[in-house]
Structure 1
């Protein structure tokens, strides 16, 4: 499609004066969304998808209890620096292909025609399944966070059961499905405030912990940054591997970078705003996350008292320093941040499902690739994404091991779907079938861009190895890490499906410019104030 996009643009039967929509038409798609997301809303969306304090809260146990306090601190800054190269590489591609298909659409444009359908198919399924697993696992974590607060609030009288957790999880998913059914203008207004709650809560936690911890109760520098803070509670791995398990928290937090790309057809000046938001969010999350981790370790108290009765070391540290009332008030906002993560994640995933269906990547005849006439949003795709996201959580009632195996798919599937288009962009850069037209966010073809791309590919492959290791020895069916098994299984099943029948209806991203059933949305003219803001 990429080599024909200029001919498509010039021969289309409709015209638009909106620069964003002109670019979208050049990529082969009709403008079907209202562009209501401003710069602030887009940046807030990018920050919210990472959910700084809530993501650290749900993953803090792993680095602290397996590798120790020093693992928490040093693995975060190491992982954040590496994630910066991945985020920059993704932003570069998003700027060139600002469509709601994101890296899925881009991957099919960055390879020769011979491989276009197969690469698009693989990246599309990895990305969709990674996003859905991410929604389920984050929502399941939020349900556990809320119930942990109930346990502490009642001094342990409230008993957390599997049924209560799954029931709350399902109710929250349905609520997010309803909220995501709002029109784009309402979603944009709602999203604007997310970043202030996210960063504000992180700042409050840092200040409260430092203010409420006596100097004599703070750990020494060698415990936070040095060898005194290195432990090995893995039961069998060497200390080096135990230390590297600290990377799991930062990699879990700083993923789903491309979520902002999936709303790019709803963003004003998308080729500028979407990649810039990714870039800013990665830097901000990396820096503020490091500060938060340092303060948490500094004020954590005796390691043997963690994670405590709630099961959350993060919450126990808040309880130790701020008391029951103070910790629960702060925890409310941490839970709210996790709520925002799922809200933005479901928004992004539904747009990916919409884009994949629009390209006939689903065996639905494009049914889920249509927008509602009333809201001008993909209500069908939202409903499908919501329903499918509930299934892994419900599976927990039958087999918690199977549910956790699906949850573990998230980071590995998403990260692999990111590096495939980055790899293809470099390998096929000079192929006559491939035409990479750089967007406004461009690192260039010099050594900086090349090293950034190579670094993030090598790092992601390394992290996939870490993600594949069981964190506790000896390995049992209960503590086995099924991430690699599930991810490889997804790849194998996706290609088997493609060979056996999907190749008949999916030939790669397809233009819908001549599809009469798709309505064109005309953008409203921005006000003078909006134009100044966007400029």
Structure 2
């Protein structure tokens, strides 16, 4: 990958010029070059610097809390080996997604992310339909991401209550949903702040995320007697198939949900590009570094959790969450209840950043007349210089998805799979468009400062497409057998249903006014 230097003179910029960055020019010069090249007027205020941008990218994955939320899936479906090796495998292959999306974000640093980039990556005659498909998949995945992370946070809070009460407490679906909805409202108000306030608020997220992760690792290793630690054979090779499927291999692969759900929303930092200084370099570097860091530190945390865990028959415990149960057994109830609020705080930060990114996508979609709202959600508040209507629309849509909790636990957890599947497919489409049409006269892909080169870029993009196809198939499987309405994986049903309805709407009505992402 290369990070190229650029001339300071933005007057010579044109649509086929490189978006480059230099330490000699000001960030305002670089950002002005981006806006000039695409003929865009930035309606936001650029308040995110390098640290707050990296913290945003790292926090959107919420490594520690995301592992806590999804740890049951690999451990209880595929066993310890699924926890360790699915994370390792996913981390390695997800670098191809991170690098591929970072390259596109660097070339097209606009608030619509991969949705807006599709305007430049497809010929004019396909631009509208490509933008429509990518936009709806990205929007659906992001709303599912906000809803699933907030639901996970509510579950973690109730798990702490169960630990404190030694399991002598019952959480009803109504209680679960009430806390979930209340947290959404709190995040709605926080995201109604000015961009400057959001940047200041975001800046410290990364330190808490990484710091608490290492505190948990150190405490588990220090407080677990050597004789009680699991063997290397148990940690790295034990497969415990509790899925009901005859195939141990398939049960093992269900562990991919944890890493794929954690490492998603790659282009979230792109959605705040118009709020980032020197976005063409800061956004992709923050994105790729966050994927790499999350993969390495997350793998270490997973290994330590399995190493220090009690026998798998004792999990997930009375709280219903294996992660906090392992902490309770090894660190004690008091120590766990001291540390756990910080794990919940990480999830709180994750929703905060996810909601901010999601609202910018909805803003761009509405602005381009892709919604029947007459551009209402595509307006910027004159008081905060942020899309307030889009923020509260995302809160409402996420609250509606949370109603699946009243159907069954399997139904609501399908939101987790839907988040990863919808988003990852939305990332594959512009990458394929870029390669197929990169020399088309309507496209002429021009790299940004983050550029892998032709040979390495082709290899990484091919790996990305193949890996995404594979993991999306796995995540669409029901995780338990025998299959019934209560354990059906509804992620593919909802995703396909929404896309079919969007296609019907497009050809019946929206096609008349929607011409693709605004250039």
TM-score range relative to shorter protein: over 0.9
Deviates more, 1:27-36 or 1:43-52: 27-36
Q: Which residue of 2 aligns with 1:90?
A: 101
Structure 2: stretches of 5+ with no match in the other structure: 1-12, 18-26
Q: CA deviation at 1:455?
A: 0.3
Q: CA deviation at 1:407?
A: 4.8
CA contact (8 A) 2:417 2:476 kept: no
| Structure 2 counterpart SS, 1:255 | coil
| Structure 1 counterpart SS, 2:332 | helix
Q: CA deviation at 1:237?
A: 3.3
Render the CA deviation track for 1:457-501: whole Å, top value 9, x for unaligned: 000000111011111111111111122222222222221111111
Task: Measure, in 1, the Cα distance between the counterparts of 2:170 and 2:489.
Answer: 28
Residues 354-369 of structure 1: matches in 2 within 5 Å?
354-369=363-378
Find 1:139's aligned residue among 135, 150, 174. Answer: 150
Matched residues, number: 498
CA contact (8 A) 2:141 2:422 kept: yes
Q: Which residue of 2 aligns with 1:265?
A: 274
CA contact (8 A) 2:84 2:299 kept: yes
Q: Which residue of 1 aligns with 2:361?
A: 352
Find 1:379's aligned residue among 388, 412, 436. Answer: 388
TM-score normalised to the size of structure 2? 0.93
Q: CA deviation at 1:363?
A: 2.0
Q: Which residue of 2 aligns with 1:240?
A: 249
Q: Which residue of 2 aligns with 1:488?
A: 496
Q: CA deviation at 1:396?
A: 2.8
Task: Measure, in 2, the Cα distance between the counterparts of 1:310 and 1:114.
Answer: 54
Q: Which residue of 2 aligns with 1:317?
A: 326
CA contact (8 A) 2:106 2:450 kept: yes
Q: Which residue of 2 aligns with 1:124?
A: 135
| Match status 1:178 vs 2:189 | yes
CA contact (8 A) 1:153 1:328 kept: yes
How large is the Cα RMSD of the aligned pairs? 1.7
Render the CA deviation track for 1:203-245: whole Å, top value 9, x for unaligned: 000000000011111111111112xx11111112311111111
Render the CA deviation track for 1:28-61: whole Å, top value 9, x for unaligned: 3211111000100000001100000100001111
Deviates more, 1:456-465 or 1:151-160: 151-160
CA contact (8 A) 2:108 2:117 kept: yes
Task: Measure, in 2, the Cα distance between the counterparts of 1:452 and 1:57.
Answer: 30
CA contact (8 A) 1:392 1:407 kept: no
TM-score normalised to the size of structure 1? 0.90
Q: CA deviation at 1:22?
A: 3.3
Find 2:221's aligned residue among 210, 215, 218. Answer: 210
Q: CA deviation at 1:18?
A: 3.8
Judging changes above 3 Å, is the alpha-carbon distance between structure 1 residues 407 and 303 closer, same or farther for their aligned structure 2 residues? closer
Render the CA deviation track for 1:226-268: whole Å, top value 9, x for unaligned: 2xx1111111231111111111111111111110000010000
CA contact (8 A) 1:405 1:486 kept: no
Q: CA deviation at 1:71?
A: 1.2
| Match status 1:421 vs 2:430 | yes
Q: Which residue of 1 aligns with 2:460?
A: 452
Q: Which residue of 2 aligns with 1:388?
A: 397
Task: Measure, in 2, the Cα distance between the counterparts of 1:89 and 1:252.
Answer: 18
Find 2:350's aligned residue among 332, 341, 346. Answer: 341
CA contact (8 A) 2:106 2:448 kept: yes
Task: Measure, in 1, the Cα distance between the counterparts of 2:75 and 2:376.
Answer: 47
| Match status 1:298 vs 2:304 | no
Structure 1: stretches of 5+ with no match in the other structure: 10-15, 512-535
Q: CA deviation at 1:21?
A: 3.1
Q: CA deviation at 1:397?
A: 3.4
Q: CA deviation at 1:401?
A: 5.8
Task: Measure, in 1, the Cα distance between the counterparts of 2:154 and 2:373.
Answer: 33
Task: Measure, in 2, the Cα distance between the counterparts of 1:146 and 1:33.
Answer: 35
Q: Which residue of 1 aligns with 2:477?
A: 469
Residues 505-516 of structure 1: matches in 2 within 5 Å?
505-511=513-519
Task: Measure, in 2, the Cα distance between the counterparts of 1:232 and 1:218.
Answer: 22
Q: CA deviation at 1:405?
A: 4.2
